[in-house]
Structure 1
Amino acid sequence: MTELDADVVIAGGGPVGLYLAAVLLQEGVSVRVLEQRQTRNQHTRAIGIHPPALQALARIGVASSMVREGVRIREGVALSGGRIVGSMAFGNVSADFPFVLALPQFRTEQILEDRVRTLDPDALVKGANVTGLTDDGGRVTVAFESREDSTHRPALATAALLVAADGARSGLRDALGVPASCRTYPDRYLMGDFDDGSGLGDKAALFLERQGIVESFPLPGGIRRWVVRLSRPAGAATASDLAGLVGQRTGIEPDPATNSMLSAFSVTSALARRTVAGRAILLGDAAHEISPIGGQGMNLGWLDAEALAPLVRAGLAGGPVGRQFREFEMARRRAAARARRQAEINMALGRPLPAPLLRIRTAALGAAASIPAVNHWAARRFTMH
């Protein structure tokens, strides 16, 4: 049986788990990251990286690579009925990163993985399916199956701390007996990536239309993502269906033949009642699932990890960190609750309205956007400052 030993075991090799691994490895902490997948998902949803997260990523030396590859969105525009009704500039939200960066999640993960492997070639264990854990109060042991050559071999990883970064459907959260406060929403969306013929350049765009919002974001390689709010489940919707909906609402119809990703999703949220359970810490989506509308989830996870790393180092050094962990838990739960409220506002603004109410809402948003102080406040709020 394979037996691994480390200071910290991280269950989940997505963007949050890999970021935490890199931070800890830089500080001389030994880490093992157990990742169930053997290959990256090319169709992952998260694309927006906000300035505070870029600051955190700069500390592990990967922000510059991401910025080189990504699209820097310096402005967002709101349109209705074919005319611009408001705009939001991100130039003053950060001195170092005055933009929101658009980069597909699979590239973000690959850059983070490369950094982890540079720091420790053995830190990431792929094909590792976690099956259970035990916490004796001094060490935590994680049981997992290692998939090699189509065989499933039992293995163990033992560490002083376990970080569960295994996603919104976290099996470890359930195994730890941590309940979550869950909400479901009536909002359903269909999104896809197409060659960009919009003429919008590097701008993000929100089309506030009677049938529901359409969101649009530039991606590297001359690609643009379109997200349409639906009035019913997507069913077996096709790229042509999505292109037709975009065209009906915005007057811009993507070419279905250029579609490179198509996904439908509904929205739920969940906040874990606790994020620290014995020698285990929940991180990222395992601690808080947030609506993808607004692009906060991945960024929130990175900021969680940034706050957690010094506590882990102090705890491993034998320092008294019980109070600090309690403060971490409370602070990150508050941050997650704020992010959930912001996502709920974002979704509400995109719901269908009768024409008279749509005109009122659009006029109100345009008036607010024209006030510099309000515009600046909204830009900071949107970029998670």
Structure 2
Amino acid sequence: MPTDTEVLIIGGGPVGLYLAALLLQDGVSVRVLEQRQTRNLHSRAIGIHPPALEGLQHIDIAASAVQEGVQIREGLAVSGGKTVGTMSFAGVSEAFPFVLALPQFRTEQLLEERVRQLDGAALVRGVRVTRVKDDGGQVTVAAGPAGEERSRESTWTASFVVAADGARSQVRGLLDVPVRQRNYPDHYLMGDFREAGFYGQRAVLFLEPGGIVESFPLPGGVRRWVVRLGRPAGTAAPDELAQQVLRRTGSLPDARTNTMVSAFSVRSTMARRMMAGRVFLLGDAAHEISPIGGQGMNLGWLDARALSPLLQAALAAANPGQVDRQFKEYQASRQRAARLARRQSEINMLLGRPLPRPLLDLRNLGISAAAATPSVNRWVARRFTMQELDRQPAWAPLGLNGRSRLT
């Protein structure tokens, strides 16, 4: 049956659910269409940076996330069994002086619980969007049961549509939004294993001649290991990953305790525009960047936090021309943030590539000197925790209690 709503969000992942919660708690009618019937229970994205935690605080789930997650307050750089440098996150935020490690499925559960608390009917699972039509005054979306005939499609109408449907966005394709894509010579194998007890709640980067190995704590006594490879992994197997970690670091994860293993190659995809009339692209649908550094999910949340007050203002705007200008400023601002995030991920990958021992030793000396300089250490920590990507334009209020309005 036809369904009307003010904002229709396509994609019920972490970014779509976060935007839904922001809008719902300010009185906007929202529906979220999600193709998946059930949630992916792999850990996937695990890092929540301080600006994103501040965003989660706006929808009252930050405290629950912090209670369940692991607070990473320090990172170590290690090479040849020796500590090259340390980086503290103590000065990056007064409220959240850490990076929080929490599996994505649990983050999504917290978000979904908040959305359902605000509107029990807001999330609609098992539907796939097939058509999007913007007539200038409203957007009509056709969607039906995933994998079934179009004869069972329903029609949804909304004042605005937001596509948060991932890097291979169906909506982006339906709108023919062009993208710029880069492929990188970086390939990784990662997996989660029972913690052996060596590093506690610290993140560790092993800078070795064969390439970087990254290690992060997770709740429940689990640790993630990520190994940089010279070519795509043929298969993703726990034993192979454990042996790669052993050869480079001397630590041997117990393959019998593995709960997730996956291989991936890195690319970036930037949509040439984040708006098409009354349809907006959000998160990975607008900008896919390297997972190295854990910025993608957080960047999508920052996009949503900036977009929410503009959507609310547009729904009540007496001057559509003014709102159009603000939307264009929003697009320019968030595209700049995406480019900065992509550049940071490229630096992260560059630091992790193989080097012969003399050049590696020279690079390690530079890292050690930087880590020993308090001002540089603080600057690097702020860059790593995405502080530079959270600069909100003057028109984007951070207080989201009650419907925001442009003045």
TM-score under structure 2 length normalisation = 0.93
Provide the secondary structure at the position in 1 that maps to 2:223.
strand
Distance 1:264 1:149 in 2: 31
What do the CA deviations read for 1:202-231 (whole angstroms, capped 9, x no partner)?
A: 000000000000000000000000000011
Q: Match of 1:363?
A: 365
Distance 2:150 2:175 in 1: 28
Distance 1:208 1:15 in 2: 32
Q: Match of 1:375?
A: 377
Q: Match of 2:90?
A: 91
Q: Which amino acid aligns with 1:79?
A: V
1:192 deviates by 0.2
Q: Which amino acid aligns with 2:330?
A: F
Q: Match of 1:188?
A: 187
Q: Match of 1:334?
A: 336
Q: Which amino acid aligns with 1:204?
A: A
Q: Match of 2:245?
A: 246
Q: Quick check: 2:163–2:281 contact (8 Å CA) kept in 1?
A: yes
Q: Which amino acid aligns with 2:211?
A: G
Q: Which amino acid aligns with 2:125?
A: K
Percent identity at matched positions? 65
Q: How many residues align?
A: 384
Q: Which amino acid aligns with 1:299?
A: N
Q: Match of 1:28?
A: 27
Q: Which amino acid aligns with 2:369?
A: A
Distance 2:41 2:300 in 1: 20
What do the CA deviations read for 1:354-385 (whole angstroms, capped 9, x no partner)?
A: 11111111111111111000000000000001
Which structure 2 residues correspond to residues 91-170 of structure 1 after superposition, within 5 A?
A: 91-146=90-145, 153-170=152-169
Provide the secondary structure at the position in 2 that maps to 1:88.
strand
Moved more, 37-46 or 263-272: 37-46
What do the CA deviations read for 1:214-251 (whole angstroms, capped 9, x no partner)?
A: 00000000000000001122112410110011011111
Distance 1:213 1:152 in 2: 52
Distance 2:259 2:34 in 1: 26
Q: Match of 1:172?
A: 171
Q: Quick check: 1:168–1:285 contact (8 Å CA) kept in 2?
A: yes
Which structure 2 residues correspond to residues 300-319 of structure 1 after superposition, within 5 A?
A: 300-319=299-318
What do the CA deviations read for 1:169-223 (whole angstroms, capped 9, x no partner)?
A: 0111111121111100000000000000041000000000000000000000000
1:45 deviates by 1.7
Q: Quick check: 1:198–1:252 contact (8 Å CA) kept in 2?
A: no
What do the CA deviations read for 1:253-298 (whole angstroms, capped 9, x no partner)?
A: 0000000000000000011110011000000000000100000000
5+ long unaligned stretches in structure 2: 388-407
1:153 deviates by 2.5
Q: Quick check: 2:235–2:263 contact (8 Å CA) kept in 1?
A: no
Distance 1:97 1:152 in 2: 50
Q: Which amino acid aligns with 2:44?
A: R
Asked if residue 48 in structure 1 is aligned to residue 47 in structure 2, the reply is yes
TM-score under structure 1 length normalisation = 0.98
Distance 1:322 1:44 in 2: 39
Q: Quick check: 2:236–2:262 contact (8 Å CA) kept in 1?
A: no
Q: Quick check: 1:146–1:152 contact (8 Å CA) kept in 2?
A: no
Q: Match of 1:10?
A: 9
Provide the secondary structure at the position in 1 that maps to 2:39.
coil
Asked if residue 67 in structure 1 is aligned to residue 81 in structure 2, the reply is no
Provide the secondary structure at the position in 2 that maps to 1:143.
strand
1:32 deviates by 0.4
Pick closer, same or farther for the CA change 1:150–1:282 going to 2, 3 Å.
closer
Q: Match of 2:346?
A: 344
Provide the secondary structure at the position in 1 that maps to 2:2.
strand
Distance 1:181 1:380 in 2: 28
Provide the secondary structure at the position in 2 that maps to 1:160.
strand
Q: Which amino acid aligns with 1:21?
A: A
Q: Quick check: 1:196–1:223 contact (8 Å CA) kept in 2?
A: yes
Provide the secondary structure at the position in 2 that maps to 1:65.
helix
State the superposition RMSD in angstroms: 1.4
Q: Quick check: 1:189–1:264 contact (8 Å CA) kept in 2?
A: yes
What do the CA deviations read for 1:28-74 (whole angstroms, capped 9, x no partner)?
A: 00000000011111125210000000001100001001001100000
Q: Which amino acid aligns with 1:290?
A: I
Distance 1:204 1:267 in 2: 21
Q: Which amino acid aligns with 1:331?
A: S
4+ runs deviating over 4 angstroms: 147-152
